Amino acid sequence: MSRSRKVLIARLTGELPMQRTSGPLWQPAVDIYRTPEGWKIKFDLAGVRPEDIEILVTDDKMIVRGVRRDSVITQGWSYHQLEITYSRFERVLNIPCDLTKADIRIDAVDGWLLVHIDATE
């Protein structure tokens, strides 16, 4: 199975509320591109495993959330300097198309989560 299939994509109906995860959240940086086929969205998620990412879509809203864990730290270590955020994240985007009918594909490459949305408006 490709790495892209490890990301959970859930299409929600308007009947299901999107519940925000609890606790402090950070927001990954994102670039959004309009293409002739639809949309390309690039999330900066270095250090996040694809299986730790969840994507929820409904109407024109996409929620990408998950967690970045420090997988390098070992018992007995103490920190000297910490600048990288390790915790839950969430980013909510409004995309001007009907995401419930769009073809959505995911790639995880070199620390980027790439979301490909093929949609006709």
Q: What is the pLDDT of residues 57-87, one digit of tens each?
A: 988 999 999 999 998 888 999 889 999 999 9
CB neighbour list of residue 56: distance below 8 Å, 6 or more residues apart: 9, 10, 12, 18, 62, 63, 65
Q: What is the pLDDT of residues 100-113, one digit of tens each?
A: 889 999 999 999 99
CA distance linking residue 27 with residue 12, whole number of Å: 22
Domains present along the chain, CATH in parentheses: 3-12+24-70+82-118 (2.60.40.790)
Model's pTM, two decimal places? 0.80
